[in-house]
Amino acid sequence: MKQPVGVILAGGLASRMGGGDKALLTLGGQTLLSRVIERLSPQVAALALNANGDPVRFAETGLPVVADTIADFPGPLAGVLAGLDWAAEQGADTLVSVAADTPFFPCDLVPRLLLASEGQEHPLVLAATKGDAQTRSKSRSGLIRHPTFGLWPVALRDDLRAALEGGLKKVVLWTEKHGGREALFPSVPFDPFFNVNTPEDLAQAEALL
Indicate the pLDDT class of residue 20, thresholds 50, 70 and 90: low
Average pLDDT, the chain: 89
Range scoring the smallest mean pLDDT among 95-104, 138-147, 176-185? 138-147
Domain tally, the chain: 1
Strands, E assignment, the chain: 5-9, 26-27, 30-31, 47-50, 65-66, 94-99, 125-129, 144-153, 181-184
Predicted confidence (pLDDT) at residue 138 exceeds the cutoff of 50: no
pLDDT at 131: 67
Identify the pLDDT of residue 73.
Answer: 61
Calpha distance 9→169 (Å, rounded)? 15
- pTM (predicted TM-score): 0.90
Read off the CATH number of the domain in which 119 is found.
3.90.550.10
Domain of 62 in residue numbering reads as 5-208
